[in-house]
Chain A
Amino acid sequence: MSSPRPSPAPPLQLVLTSLLRADFTVFLKNRRGLLLSMILPLFILITTNSSTSTHNFGGALFVIGLAIAYGLLSASILGYALTVARDRDQGVFQRLRVTPAPTWTIMTSRLAMQGFANLLITLVVVVVGSRLHHLSLSAGTYGLVLLVSILGGAVFLSIGQALVGLVRSADSVNAASRVLTIGLILLGTFGQSGTLGPTWESIARWTPVGAVMTLFAAVLNLSSWGTHDSLDLLACGGYIVVFASIGIRWFQWDAR
């Protein structure tokens, strides 16, 4: 045989556009899932609307932060991880991988669409939260909130990626993601409010939910930004690096 001859592979832009279009179509058809991801955050905003409840969670900004963190958590772990696990189980990824599309484009398109969903959830929760808690937010604050939404979303998406990296079957991912989501929600709610005592409060403070929630609260009131918030930023970065590394290292495209 002669030496390798270059053959025309489809343009990357066309490949990415096609994947994004398909994933956006799937996203639109899954809008019920998006609405379900908003139920818990909106429920938290409404039920903590009294001054006592708000005080228990450290104030209105923390309540809004907690609500956004829960929205991102459920969308990323119950949404993204489950969809990836199910598609892997059904051989959808294998079919995509035998096309000329580079594998990174397949995952990038998925993550981009989930990032878009995360931004929508954040926007809705912040708008509703600021109304309920009578907060007036500037355009700059909204911009910062959306930036933190990308960061917070990345934390939970990397956890979701680690989950599908470590657990192979869709059924097991389904079970594990529910346990993980419930565990993180309970830890965030009861630990953060101090109901479980100071030890659990400290633990909850540094969990992914606690770190993301605190970051959201900090950017909603930027004048109060302190060392703790910088440490939260670092913690979020650390979570992304660790969980994404696990998720990429052990991820298998095939469920078998």
Chain B
Amino acid sequence: MSDDGPVSDNADPVGRDRRSAESVEPLAEVIAAELFARISVRDRLDTVEDAHGVAELIADAVLDRFVVSPRPAERGDRHVARAHPADADVILDVQDLSVAYGAKTAVDGVSLRIARGEIFGLLGPNGAGKTSTLSAIEGLIKPRSGTVLLDGVDIRRHPSQAKAKLGVQLQATSFQSQLTIKQIVRLYAGLYGVALSDAEISAGLQEIGLQEEASKPFKQLSGGQQQRLSLYVAVMHRPALLLLDEPTAGLDPQSRRQLWTRIESIRQAGGSIILTTHSMEEAEAVCDRVAIIDHGTLLTTETPKDLIEKHKDDPEVRKLAHGEVTLEDVFIGLTGSAIRE
């Protein structure tokens, strides 16, 4: 099942030439009317035609930003990101993905498209199929059916090429217990084809506050330090897409805040991120779009704001809400309040 339907013509990168009359005009008219209706603007514009000219410029800028060539969204603009990324912007294209363990179907026909510079949250209760979906994207498990294209490269057909574009932080990451932090960094730099000198490794460890721990084994690091190293290893090759499986689980607030700062900086640099989390507050705060998965099926894909807007009047959601409807209310409303295994 997919919520990601075909991308509209306007979203096509070659649609820039043909959109002027078709898509800018109606949008411009709406904006112009809005502008002219406001006294402060009317004071400075003589006619509605003047307002229309300004509106056209605004509409053009809006389409430029959110349809044709979206830049990494600014923090405040995040929730107005498009529901369906355009083809040229798609960094991850998952189509009709199904994963089964014997007779048990863990993921059933999931389709997703993630845009460049987007933070995408995959939410679901325990056992909903989040980790199985990520594992199939990472190439760790062979899906029963479906395709996973990473920047156009099929992960099943060209695993090494696809994985070179991918950074992964697994839910339970472990490195060889006998290796020191510096040796781990050297190993993974080699595996990702990154040439790092001793000085560069030291500088990298200094950047993540692990310079003092360079000669310690991984197991001697605290949870927050382990998380920092895992993230550092996951992004050392500047991946186009970063997969984070419950990245903040077990972290204290300081480490969590630091992690989000790093994740935000990765996105600012143009990287895309797909993450799973059980924290709806975090998902609401950091994700451009979220998908809710349950029993292996994708229930919905929206921006957090749109998702809340769409379901805020559902009787089930209203019953759960204490005051303003939150993403958690919608999530429980859609997936049920029964505790999962």
- Flag whether B58 is at the interface (Cβ < 8 A): no
Which chain B residues border A94 with CB–CB below 8 Å? 140, 170
Mark contacts of B167-180 with chain A using CB atoms, 8 A cut-off: 1 yes-contact digit, 0 otherwise.
01010111111110
How far is the CB of A251 from the nearest CB of chain B, in Å?
Answer: 14
How far is the CB of B88 from the nearest CB of chain A, in Å?
Answer: 9
Which chain B residues border A254 with CB–CB below 8 Å? 140
Instruction: State how many residues of chain B have any CB contact under 8 Å with chain A.
Output: 40
* A7-25 interface with B by 8 A CB criterion: 7-11, 14-15, 17-19, 21-22, 25
| CB atoms of A91 and B152 under 8 A apart | no
- Flag whether B166 is at the interface (Cβ < 8 A): yes
| CB atoms of A1 and B191 under 8 A apart | no
- Flag whether B163 is at the interface (Cβ < 8 A): yes
Summarize A's interface: helix, strand, loop or mixed: loop
| CB atoms of A7 and B153 under 8 A apart | yes
In the complex, which of the residues B161, B187, B192 contacts A7, with contact meaning CB atoms closer than 8 Å? B161
How far is the CB of A98 from the nearest CB of chain B, in Å?
Answer: 4
| CB atoms of A22 and B166 under 8 A apart | no
| CB atoms of A2 and B152 under 8 A apart | yes
- Flag whether A226 is at the interface (Cβ < 8 A): no
Q: Which of B160, B164, B189, B192 has most chain A Cβ within 10 Å?
A: B160
CA distance A111 to B243 in the complex (A): 30
CA distance A22 to B176 in the complex (A): 9
CA distance A253 to B170 in the complex (A): 14
- Flag whether B138 is at the interface (Cβ < 8 A): yes
Which chain A residues border B165 with CB–CB below 8 Å? 7
Do A100 and B161 form a contact, CB below 8 Å, given A4-B154, A19-B187? yes
In the complex, which of the residues B93, B139, B159, B187 contacts A21, with contact meaning CB atoms closer than 8 Å? B187
| CB atoms of B139 and A9 under 8 A apart | no
Which chain A residues border B176 with CB–CB below 8 Å? 22, 26, 87, 92
Mark contacts of A85-114 with chain B using CB atoms, 8 A cut-off: 1 yes-contact digit, 0 otherwise.
001001110111111111000000000000
In the complex, which of the residues B153, B172, B178 contacts A25, with contact meaning CB atoms closer than 8 Å? B178
CA distance A254 to B170 in the complex (A): 12
| CB atoms of A4 and B149 under 8 A apart | yes
In the complex, which of the residues A4, A9, A87 contacts B193, with contact meaning CB atoms closer than 8 Å? A9
Which chain B residues border A102 with CB–CB below 8 Å? 159-160
| CB atoms of A9 and B152 under 8 A apart | no
- Flag whether B151 is at the interface (Cβ < 8 A): yes
Do A10 and B178 form a contact, CB below 8 Å, given A1-B149, A5-B153? no
Do A25 and B164 form a contact, CB below 8 Å, given A1-B90, A1-B152, A91-B172? no
- Flag whether A3 is at the interface (Cβ < 8 A): yes
In the complex, which of the residues A8, A14, A26, A29 contacts B164, with contact meaning CB atoms closer than 8 Å? A8
How far is the CB of B275 from the nearest CB of chain A, in Å?
Answer: 15
| CB atoms of B164 and A98 under 8 A apart | no
* B70-118 interface with A by 8 A CB criterion: 87, 90, 93
Mark contacts of B124-168 with chain A using CB atoms, 8 A cut-off: 1 yes-contact digit, 0 otherwise.
000000000000001110000000010111100111111111101
Top 3 closest A-B pairs, CB basis?
Answer: A18-B190, A10-B193, A9-B160
Q: Chain B residues in contact with chain A, CB under 8 A? A: 87, 90, 93, 138-140, 149, 151-154, 157-166, 168, 170, 172-179, 183, 186-193
Q: What would 9 more interface pairs be, CB under 8 Å, given A9-B163, A22-B183, A30-B178?
A: A2-B152, A4-B154, A4-B157, A9-B160, A9-B161, A10-B160, A14-B190, A99-B192, A100-B159
Q: Chain A residues in contact with chain B, CB under 8 A? A: 1-11, 14-15, 17-19, 21-22, 25-26, 29-30, 87, 90-92, 94-102, 253-254
